[in-house]
Structures are given as structure tokens and as C-alpha cells.
Amino acid sequence: MSKKQKRYLLGEDEIPTQWYNIQADMVNKPLPPLHPATREALKPEDLYPIFARELCHQELDQEHAWIDIPEEVYDMYKYYRSTPLVRAYGLEEALGTPAHIYFKNESVSPVGSHKLNSALPQAYYCKEEGVTNVTTETGAGQWGCALSYAAKAFGLEAAVYQVKISYNQKPYRRSIMQTYGAQVTPSPSMSTRAGKDILTRDPNNQGSLGTAISEAIELARTTPNCKYTLGSVLSHVTLHQTIIGLEAEKQMEKAGEYPDIVIGCFGGGSNFGGIAFPFMRHNIKEGRTTRFIAAEPASCPKLTRGQFRYDFGDVAGYTPLLPMYTLGHNFMPANIHAGGLRYHGAGVIVSQLLKDGLMEAVDIKQLESFEAGMLFARTEGIVPAPESCHAIAAAINEAKKCKETGEEKVILFNLSGHGLIDMAAYDQYLSGSLQNFEVTDDDVQANLDAIE
């Protein structure tokens, strides 16, 4: 790693006190989500049975550009924020690029990823309205860990449905959740009707985010004082993640630069939106021309190969219909290591922005992502999460273009988490046993046709 490492931190009094709601500034607002039963435009009240009320309002708020961060959440943010903005001299040198590469290091949170930025306010708002139990689903476990931590912080009981294959294959994050006091159940389970239905049909079902979401929602609906929480996709989750970009904006100012390109990996959109939206407001309002690039896996290419349409957020069709780029809610992504990016759809804000040409998307193959992650680990010293490797790969591609053109562009990407609990994936990469998975336009069309 470079000997010239340089990081920028904010003083405690410089940490932003509000989140940024880009919906208020968008010229073309996102289309409304539709109630799954009535197919009418969703109102905040329709979501009350599932989410804390404040979150229901944040979800659909197209008026207020700035939302105050509650004091108790702010106090918890200060325990790990600001996260460092780092000039990646080592990576620049290794690439021989004239580009200036910066990354925002969200891996320094106590749970190792950006997920805590939304878990804390979600748990807080639940607590505030008298909720005692929260539930959620998790795949590899980044979100589940964050929610377990936040629940403990605000004195709530947490029940996490973890995709069964991850529960068995990646036991470390399950253990972390249990260490934080959460109850973790492999999904599908016999504890819900949805789970029983699946297991009756297919006793060996290994689960998916779709099955786990259905179980968690059912638990929230059928348990008094229990609410459901979600780690990405939804607009209020992305709202909370804008703390990343708002900090980065101040830190870039300290570095005396402004990004020409902002990059995030893309699962449902929350870490991407979190770093991108605060900068994007200057494009919208002041005519800046920064490019925003979402880096998704080639095996789950909703932004680059999906279609913009109304679709469900889960396999069973329990969620509202969302206007989004989707591969179809029945899409089963390949079992890549970037578990956090294995989702069929994109958040409604990002979908509208992509449709309107305000941002771009690229797809990254699994081997390319790990190649990028290895170079990053050896030049910057941090082993990145498999998800974050996609952002690194996209940043490297842009930096290589700069090498060709000689342009001294400023590239900023979000390092959403570290990969210390994903070393089995690196082992496979180092031993040559990892492979690429790709999805063609025909695959997507066939999948979408099947749910017509």
C-alpha cells in the first residue's frame, strides 16, 4: 500500500445534521408506488402496518429537501462518523493514471459497513412510537448485523430471517448478530405461514431474499408492537445514507477538489444514492456536470439490462408495486459472493434518475470485481467487501480511460464495507475456482414474459 496515504476527517461539529432528500429537487418525480391490492397510488398510511410512521412519510416525501437527523441518532453517528475520505495514492500509482482517486471509507463502522447509517434511524423511529420488536431479512448478513446493533442500542428485540444458504455457509455474521443479542432464524422456516408453504412444497429450499422478506413482513404484520425494517431499495433508506455524500462533500472541499465522477456499487441503491445524491443536487440546481456511475454485477444487471416497469419488491408479491428497473421479481440471481447485490430491482428514485439520463450504470463481472479488490487491498491496505469491489472495478476503468486521454479527472467512490468476513471468497479467487455469471437481454425478456 502507498506510503503517501492521506485521509480527511471532519471535526465533531462539522458532521452534517440533516439528511438530503433528492425527491424534493427532482424535476421528474418518481412515479407513485401502487397498493398491491387496489393498485392505487400508495399513501403513507398504507405503510403504517409495516414500517414506523415517520419512515412511511419519509418514503413518499417529495417536498422537503432537508430532514433533521434526530439527536439520539446523531449521537450514535458520532461514535463512528465522520468516516475517512481517503486519497488513494497507492492505487493511482499502480495504475499509472493522472486521475485523482478518492474513496469514502464506510468500512470503519462498528459493523464494518454503511448499513448502520440507516439501521440506527430505523430503530430509533420504531422506539419513538412505542414499538418493542423489529424484524428484517438478511442475505450474507451485513444488514442483519447493523439492525441487530441498532436494536440493541435502542432497547428493541430483533428477529432476523437469514437466507438459509448463507446462515449455513457464512456463520460468522450470524454469530455477530447473536452476539448482539438478536434472534436469527434460517429462512424459509416453519415459524411463518409463508415459510411453511415453501417448505411443504420444497423441503430442501435453501432460501432467497424473497423468502426471507416474506417471512419478516408476515412476522411484523402478525406480532403486536413489531415493525419490519429494510436495508436498501426504499427511498427512506437511501435518505439516511446521504450522510455519506454530505460528509464527502465537506471532505472533498478540505482536499480542495470536486468530483468529476462519483461511483457506488449497486444492489438496491442505498449506498450508491447515499454518496451520489448530495453531489447530484449541484448538477440539478447549479448545472454541474459530474457523472454518476452505478456499478452492478453482470449476473444481476437490472440497471443495464432490466426494464423500467411496475414490479413487486419480493417473490411472493407482498410489497407495493414499485416503478423501477427490474429483471422480474421472479429472477433468481447466480450465487455470486457479492450477496448484497443479488436483488432483482432498483429503488424508485434511482430508476427515475437513470431513465432521465441523470446517471449511468455499468456491469462488472465477478472475476473483474475480485481482481480490482485484490489490487485495492495491495495498494490501499483494506480488504474490500465483494460488493464494494464492483465500485472499485468501475473506478479503475475510469482511471484507465484517464491514462489514455491524459485527463486529470477527480474520481470518488464509496467503499461500502470491508471483506474480513468474506475471506472464503478471496480464497476461491486466489485458487482460481471462481467463475463469471452473465445474464443476456434474452434471459431478462424470457423472465419478464413469464410474469406477465
Residues 232 and 309: their CA atoms lie apart, in Å, by: 19
CB atoms within 10 A of CB 220: 22
- Choosing from 18, 175, 206, 290, the residue that interacts with a copy of itself (CB under 8 A) is 175
15 near a copy of itself (CB under 8 A):
no
- Choosing from 424, 446, 450, 451, the residue that interacts with a copy of itself (CB under 8 A) is 424
Q: Segment near a copy of itself (CB under 8 A), from 50-58, 161-169, 276-284, 378-386?
A: 378-386
228 near a copy of itself (CB under 8 A):
no
Picking from 179, 180, 143, the residue whose alpha carbon sits closest to that of residue 161 is: 143
Beta strands in 344-440 (DSSP E): 360-364, 410-415
338 near a copy of itself (CB under 8 A):
no
Length of the chain: 452
C-alpha distances (whole Å) from 411 to each of 118, 190, 319 are 25, 48, 36
Q: Which cell numbers in the block locate residue 325?
A: 428497473
171 near a copy of itself (CB under 8 A):
yes
254 near a copy of itself (CB under 8 A):
no
95 near a copy of itself (CB under 8 A):
no
Work out how close the CB of 166 gets to a copy of itself at its nearest, in angstroms, rounded to a whole number.
Answer: 14
Largest CA distance in the chain: 61
- Choosing from 39, 254, 378, 400, the residue that interacts with a copy of itself (CB under 8 A) is 378
Work out how close the CB of 389 gets to a copy of itself at its nearest, in angstroms, rounded to a whole number.
Answer: 12
Give the phi and the psi of residue 345 in degrees, each rounded to 5.
-125, 180
193 near a copy of itself (CB under 8 A):
no
What residues contact residue 17 under an 8 Å CB cut-off, 6+ apart? 68, 69, 74
Q: Segment near a copy of itself (CB under 8 A), from 37-45, 74-82, 339-347, 435-443?
A: 74-82
CA angle 47, 318, 181 (to 5 degrees): 75
Work out how close the CB of 177 gets to a copy of itself at its nearest, in angstroms, rounded to a whole number.
Answer: 10
Q: Segment near a copy of itself (CB under 8 A), from 131-139, 238-246, 357-365, 375-383?
A: 375-383
149 near a copy of itself (CB under 8 A):
yes
CA 332 to chain centre: 18
277 near a copy of itself (CB under 8 A):
no
Given a contact cutoff of 8 angstroms between Cβ atoms, the answer to whether 85 and 8 are in contact is: yes
- The answer, yes or no, to whether the previous bond of 118 is cis (omega within 30 of 0) is no
Given a contact cutoff of 8 angstroms between Cβ atoms, the answer to whether 161 and 189 are in contact is: yes
Q: Which cell numbers in the block locate residue 98?
A: 493522472
- Choosing from 16, 33, 112, 274, the residue that interacts with a copy of itself (CB under 8 A) is 112
Count of residues interacting with a copy of itself (CB under 8 A): 43
180 near a copy of itself (CB under 8 A):
yes
Work out how close the CB of 85 gets to a copy of itself at its nearest, in angstroms, rounded to a whole number.
Answer: 13
CA angle 167, 168, 174 (to 5 degrees): 40
- Choosing from 28, 66, 181, 440, the residue that interacts with a copy of itself (CB under 8 A) is 181
CA 213 to chain centre: 16
67 near a copy of itself (CB under 8 A):
no
Where does this chain bind a copy of itself (CB under 8 A)?
1-5, 7, 9, 72, 75-76, 78-79, 86, 108, 110-112, 149, 152-154, 171-173, 175-176, 178-181, 374, 377-378, 381-383, 420-421, 423-424, 426-427, 430
